[in-house]
């Protein structure tokens, strides 16, 4: 089952890591491995959400999402989008940016370094909004209850996450941005950071709005389908199940693609905190994207979406840590090892907490059943 589900991911991993060694030696191998793990950890909640929706779709539309969808996710968001970021930030054409990355890495690195304050502000704000919206939401399951309970109460205040994000952006523009790190030395990039941060915030709100739009369309279509079914039953007429199911599935597919893009966006932005090398970024994020798709299929087939309930929390805490790191790197350099390790450690901690929770629940159930048997025996 594991080999059947993750076979393509294993193959892509092997090819990607071998390509990294040939491209930049064992250092590149390590960077690609860290990026892959980071993408998987940040996108685990993506796989969970995708699986919850995908299981409602017909086998045909599941195949569409796992084939056409993977092309959009890997080649669109993970490969093309980093080029777009660099070309816009450094004011280069996409082809020129790719050519420069492959032929003159020193010049490319200088351009990316100069564009880093804008990239970090844009990405930091986008990631921060994802984290804030998650942490301020009142959830039934809480990992760090001592922290999440009071924050959930504060989250009842409208637009609190946006206000906090804007405050963080203002502080960043007045502190780190005034001594931003460029290849020629420190420089004042307060205006650039402020504008880029606002753009990141707007992008998050737009993506969230699109996701909500498609979700509403999906709910409307499902309601119409249900009403049509009831009307057909009352009239004693057959209904066009294929057409209605097709509409609902089509809106599901659109919603999934927008949702998947919004989740993958944080991995792409977060990758800039680890490396500016577009080739290594593409290899690492591509490998991670394959595992996210395989994990989605695995969760659907196994039906174990709720088994490790704290993993989503760990992933969002990792997103919050990356947001802070990106904003700090506007002025200070932070080791790639530290950046990658924080996300892995948070995911590992949430996984271990989930395992302990499951064991405690199993022990409690076992104890309750044992007491029942003793009572009945007496």
Q: Answer whether residue 371 is part of any domain.
A: no
Q: Which residue has the higher pLDDT, 157 or 108?
A: 157
Domain count, the chain: 1
* Cα distances (angstroms) measured from residue 191 to each of 4, 113, 170, 266, 324: 51, 17, 10, 23, 19
Q: Answer whether residue 375 is part of any domain.
A: no
Q: Is the pTM of this model over 0.75?
A: no
Instruction: Please state the rounded mean pLDDT for residues 44-66.
Output: 71
pLDDT tens digits for range 175-192: 888 877 676 667 778 888
Is the pLDDT confidence value at 326 over 90?
A: no
Instruction: Report residue 358 CA to chain centroid gap.
Output: 25
Alpha-carbon span 143 to 351, nearest angstrom:
11
What percentage of the chain exceeds 70 in pLDDT?
A: 75
Model pLDDT, residue 244: 41
Q: Which residues contact 135 (CB under 8 A, 6 or more apart)?
A: 148, 151, 155, 316, 320
Q: Which residue has the higher pLDDT, 166 or 249?
A: 166
Q: Which residue has the higher pLDDT, 284 or 266?
A: 284
According to the per-residue pLDDT averaged within each range, which of 103-117, 148-162, 173-187, 206-220 is highest?
Answer: 148-162
Model pLDDT, residue 378: 38
Range of lowest pLDDT (261-265, 280-284, 318-322): 261-265
Is the pLDDT confidence value at 198 over 90?
A: yes
Encode burial over 247-277: b for 16+ CB neighbours within 10 A, e otherwise: bbbebbbbbbbbbbbbbbbbbbbbbbbbbbb
Encode burial over 217-241: b for 16+ CB neighbours within 10 A, e otherwise: bbeebbeebeeeeeeeeeeeeeeee
Instruction: Please state the rounded mean pLDDT for residues 15-42.
Output: 85
Is the pLDDT confidence value at 351 over 70?
A: yes
Model pLDDT, residue 165: 93
Model pLDDT, residue 368: 66
Q: Answer whether residue 369 is part of any domain.
A: no
Q: Shortest CA distance to 7 belongs to which of 370, 293, 365?
A: 293
Is the pLDDT confidence value at 338 over 80?
A: no
Alpha-carbon span 113 to 319, nearest angstrom:
22
Is the pLDDT confidence value at 155 over 70?
A: yes
Model pLDDT, residue 167: 94
Q: Answer whether residue 121 is part of any domain.
A: yes
Is the pLDDT confidence value at 246 over 60?
A: no
Mean of per-residue pLDDT scores for the chain = 77
Is the pLDDT confidence value at 337 over 70?
A: no
Model pLDDT, residue 344: 75
- Domain span holding position 323: 2-363
Model pLDDT, residue 303: 61
Model pLDDT, residue 270: 66
Is the pLDDT confidence value at 138 over 80?
A: yes
Q: Answer whether residue 368 is part of any domain.
A: no
User: DSSP string spanning 157-174?
Assistant: STTHHHHHHHHHHHHHHH
Model pLDDT, residue 247: 59
- The distance in angstroms from the start CA to the end CA of the chain is 46
Q: Answer whether residue 231 is part of any domain.
A: yes
Q: Answer whether residue 54 is part of any domain.
A: yes
Q: Answer whether residue 372 is part of any domain.
A: no
Q: Which residues contact 65 (CB under 8 A, 6 or more apart)?
A: 50, 54, 57, 253, 256
pLDDT tens digits for range 75-100: 677 677 767 766 776 677 778 877 87
Using pLDDT thresholds of 50, 70 and 90, give the confidence band for residue 316.
Answer: confident
């Amino acid at each position: 089952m594991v080999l059947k589900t993750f076979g393509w991911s294993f193959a892509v991993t092997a090819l990607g890591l071998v390509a990294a060694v040939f491209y930049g030696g064992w250092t590149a191998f390590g960077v690609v491995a860290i990026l892959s793990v980071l993408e998987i950890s940040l996108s685990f909640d993506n796989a969970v959400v995708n699986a919850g929706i995908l299981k409602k779709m017909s086998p045909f539309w599941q195949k569409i999402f796992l084939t056409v969808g993977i092309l959009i996710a890997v080649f669109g968001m993970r490969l093309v989008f980093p080029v777009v970021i660099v070309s816009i930030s450094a004011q280069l054409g996409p082809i020129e940016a790719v050519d420069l990355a492959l032929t003159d890495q020193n010049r490319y690195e200088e351009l990316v370094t100069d564009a880093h304050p804008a990239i970090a502000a844009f990405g930091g704000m986008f990631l921060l909004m994802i984290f804030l919206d998650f942490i301020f939401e009142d959830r039934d399951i809480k990992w760090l209850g001592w922290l999440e309970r009071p924050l959930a109460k504060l989250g009842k205040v409208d637009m609190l996450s946006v206000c906090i994000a804007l405050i963080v952006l203002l502080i960043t523009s007045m502190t780190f941005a005034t001594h931003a790190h460029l290849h020629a030395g420190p420089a004042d990039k307060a205006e650039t950071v402020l504008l880029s941060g606002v753009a990141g915030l707007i992008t998050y709100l737009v993506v969230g709005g699109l996701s909500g739009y498609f979700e509403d369309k999906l709910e409307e279509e499902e309601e119409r389908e249900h009403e049509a079914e009831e009307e057909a039953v009352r009239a004693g007429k057959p209904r066009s199940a294929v057409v209605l199911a097709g509409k609902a599935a089509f809106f599901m597919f659109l919603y999934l693609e927008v949702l998947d893009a919004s989740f993958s966006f944080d991995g792409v932005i977060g990758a800039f905190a680890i490396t500016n090398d577009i080739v290594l970024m593409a290899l690492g994020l591509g490998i991670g994207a394959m595992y996210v798709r395989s994990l989605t299929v695995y969760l659907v087939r196994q039906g174990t979406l709720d088994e490790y309930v704290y993993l989503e929390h760990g992933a969002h805490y990792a997103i919050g840590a990356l947001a802070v790191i990106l904003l700090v790197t506007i002025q200070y350099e932070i080791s790639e090892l530290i950046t990658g390790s924080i996300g892995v450690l948070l995911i590992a901690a949430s996984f271990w907490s989930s395992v302990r929770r499951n064991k405690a629940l199993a022990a409690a159930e076992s104890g309750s059943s044992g007491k029942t048997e003793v009572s009945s025996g007496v």
